[in-house]
Structure 1
């Protein structure tokens, strides 16, 4: 028998009355354990097997799967379940954490970071606007990517490594974001690369194949950002957010979509919870009209 602390990130039925829980723990990383009889109405586990419930656990080793012998709830984040946007954002972060988590390997930093961002989301008011929900979601995504060593470069051009200082008053999209390059790209640098890849007039035929090969590696931006959107993106690397209320919904919608595409590319799989974010944003926009 061993003791650990874990937060439930995934649950699925097992057999007639059991649940198979996927738990993130600081002591042993990702753990899959059985909560025997937890689907029965009079189960001793009660609500301890719910999503985002943080428990202190006593685990009994098994031949194939370990089993929960005792569970004592430490936190449950009830505010998340009362707001569709907050719950969806939490599931989004949990999905990324599940893709980063390792089995049988201590991961206190990942555990602490995820629970910290769940707390931040829960502290938002029940009527939190779309901008606030997306802002906290985006910062959680960025921090998780940074912990995994794959956060996009947002303060320096990926091509020149020169700093790019955001001008929030610049409303025309100017700065590119290239998933392939790993972050923001200055237009001047992109134009320079494209110009260098143009074949000379004298050797146009001879250079055709080389140019075609080079074009495959051209860091063509997937999106373009204006100065305000760039300033929001750069803010995500900070410990805390500021001036959320001053930003329109569309700005954070753009940032979330950029981070979503970037994350899915680097994880090599789709984020299923992201489709629920689309539904949440659409429903909020419908209510306003």
Structure 2
């Protein structure tokens, strides 16, 4: 970018008014990464830059380098995504991806892979049915994180590194999803950490009690109801009273401490983890969700029907009743969202509108 004028092919990711008629646009270009430029007069009705400076428009553009901000002086549109603006869910999902890309992209460096990846997923969202927007959004988020080198680990436990053996026949099978550890963590590993932490605390308590007892020559007693005896009350040491109430509270606090330490944001079912494992693949095999039938599994091994991975053995009836595809994809997207926000160290503002677009009542009304 040493020359004063330069050409680049890029997609508009952000725009905001500037001055009386100008627009400040942020463009992801293949050649130079993120470019922030002023589009002079772009807010005038008859301006040639009016449509070309719109959101998610791909242009072959000519920029003039400035002291603080560059200037967009010419643009020739090569592609646009008109279908995104016709559906609120699709537009919101696209803005969601734009926020992630804005956090990942660099300036004054080629960003060709990121550029083409975003274009591909915007095209998928535009072509998707409303019911399949969430699966497309989840996979796009996963692919963007993978390109940045921070995709969540969903095939092995992040702590033990042992493979995750999914049991689709067990409706109670669960795995924790940890943003701090980097992905999936088995419940066995969490129990092990909780046990170690509990033993450590109990050892410190025992040490403190021994030191206290060494300075005391008498044992203090108090009246405590004894429900195992016929008498209305019995004399029990205060230490016994404390042990009866402290242990459950201590266990609860230990669980909370480990959850906070690992950054566990949710737990995934077997079907949800199986779906998340598919997100790393180039394509999701999705069929149009029927608006007249309830989502359900089909006995087709190794395929996806209505956004749900199908695998042998066939899921049980309790599994079928527990979660439909829409609910599962909402849960997966929310888990990936929290993971992305942790990795990017910033909130995804469009996520609030995603929640509004895909609440159960809204989804039922759209179906």
Give me the TM-score of the superposition, normalised by structure 1.
0.90
Secondary structure of 1:223's aligned partner: strand
Matching residue of 2:225:
none
Q: Structure 1 regions of 5+ residues with no counterpart? A: none
Paired position in structure 2 for 1:52: 56
The secondary structure found in structure 2 opposite 1:191 is helix
Q: Distance in 2 between matches of 1:234 and 1:30?
A: 31
Alignment partners' CA distance in 2, 1:129 and 1:165:
32
How far apart in 1 are the matches of 2:331 and 2:59?
Answer: 36
Shift of 1:237: 1.1
What does residue 306 of structure 2 align with?
245
How big is each residue's C-alpha offset from its partner over 1:204-261, in whole Å with a ceiling of 9 and x where there is no partner?
Answer: 44499xx98xx56743632111110110111111111122515320000100110111
Asked whether the 8 Å contact 1:11–1:21 carries over to 2, the reply is yes
Which residue is 1:287 aligned to? 365
1:260 and 2:337 matched? yes
What's the CA shift for 1:76?
A: 0.5
- In the aligned structure 1, how far is the partner of 2:37 from the partner of 2:279? 35
Q: Partners of 2:31 and 2:124 in 1: how far apart?
A: 23
CA spacing shift, 1:207–1:41, aligned 2, 3 Å: farther
Report the CA distance shift for 1:220/1:270 in structure 2 as closer, same or farther (over 3 A).
closer
Q: Partner residue of 1:18?
A: 22
> Considering only CA atoms, is the larger Rg found in Structure 1 or Structure 2?
2
The CA deviation string for residues 115-154 of structure 1, in whole angstroms up to 9 with x for no partner, is 1111111122xxx243x11000000001111111111111
1:235 maps to 2:278: yes
Evaluate the alpha carbon distance shift between residue 206 and residue 4 of structure 1 in structure 2; reply closer, same or farther with a 3 A threshold: farther
**Distance 1:207-1:154 versus aligned 2 partners, 3 A rule:** farther
Pairing 1:198–2:195 present: no
Classify 1:148/1:288 alpha carbon distance in 2 versus 1 (closer, same or farther; 3 Å). Answer: closer
Q: Deviations over 1:62-116 (max 9, x none)?
A: 2332111210001001111111111111110110000111111111111111111
Structure 2 residue aligned with 1:146: 146
SS of aligned partner of 2:274: helix
Matched, 1:272 2:349: yes
* Contiguous gaps of at least 5 residues in structure 2: 210-252, 286-303, 309-324
Distance 1:141-1:246 versus aligned 2 partners, 3 A rule: closer
- Does the 8 A contact of 2:90 with 2:130 survive in 1? no
Pairwise mapping of residues 8-87 of structure 1 onto structure 2 (< 5 A)?
8-87=12-91
1:142, 1:236 within 8 Å by CA — same for their partners in 2? yes
Query: Size of the alignment, in residue pairs?
Result: 282
